[in-house]
Amino acid sequence: MIIIITLGFTVAFTWRQTVFDLVQSGVKKFFSTESSAYLSVITSTTITIISLLLIYIASQLLKNKPEQY
């Protein structure tokens, strides 16, 4: 189990910068700012909102419904 957790963390860490860069390029199209700190905050907020939406959708799809029993 620890090997699976370690490999999952490695994969997530590897893709972290790629996802950040892709979202940041999309954010640059909507916000014209020269401040890298402001752009980084907006990008991180956007990723957080998208992640929360995906978690909510997944939880709704995977919820056990009483009529399934």
**Domain range annotation of the chain:** 20-62
Say if residues 43 and 24 touch (Cβ distance below 8 Å): yes
pTM > 0.85: yes or no:
no
Give 43: exposed, middle or buried? Use CB within 10 Å, 0-12, 13-18, 19+.
buried
Residue 62 has a pLDDT of 87
Phi, then psi, of 63 in degrees rounded to 5: -70, 135
Give 39: exposed, middle or buried? Use CB within 10 Å, 0-12, 13-18, 19+.
middle
**Residue 41 binned pLDDT confidence (cut-offs 50, 70, 90):** very high
Say what percent of the chain tops pLDDT 90.
71
